[in-house]
Amino acid sequence: MSQKSSASAAKPAAEKVVRDTRRATCKHHSAEDKIRIVLEGLRGEESIAALCRHEAIAESLYYAWSKEFLEAGKRRLAGDTVSAATH
């Protein structure tokens, strides 16, 4: 019985180690880095796949950043339009 309880106690500890390791090894990109990478992709000088390999990021991450970037621009432009209409 004690082997079973120690095995179940070890599982959460192992999961915590994996989670902590992933957090420690995960690269966090600044907003400036994200913008730079998205703008490089939009320029089209190299393929998105090549850009992502060069920056060591997943293509899906690039496309998520790109979508956020374009949505933020759209919201900003919509806000400017409302602001101009009220002045």
Q: What is the pTM of this model?
A: 0.64
Mean pLDDT for back-to-back runs of 10 residues, the chain (87 residues): 55 83 77 97 98 96 97 91 65
CA of residue 41 relative to chain centroid, distance: 15
- Shortest CA distance to 55 belongs to which of 77, 87, 68, 65? 65
pLDDT computed for residue 80 by the predictor: 72
pLDDT computed for residue 9 by the predictor: 61
pLDDT computed for residue 82 by the predictor: 63
Q: Domain count of the chain?
A: 1
Spatial distance between the Cα atoms of 37 and 31, rounded to a whole number of angstroms: 10
pLDDT computed for residue 21 by the predictor: 74
78: left (phi over 0), alpha (psi -120 to 50) or beta: alpha
pLDDT computed for residue 39 by the predictor: 98
Contact 34, 65 (CB under 8 A): yes
CA of residue 3 relative to chain centroid, distance: 41
Angle, helices 31-43 vs 59-86, to 10°: value is: 100
pLDDT computed for residue 83 by the predictor: 64
pLDDT computed for residue 51 by the predictor: 98
Domain that holds residue 58: 2-86
pLDDT computed for residue 85 by the predictor: 65
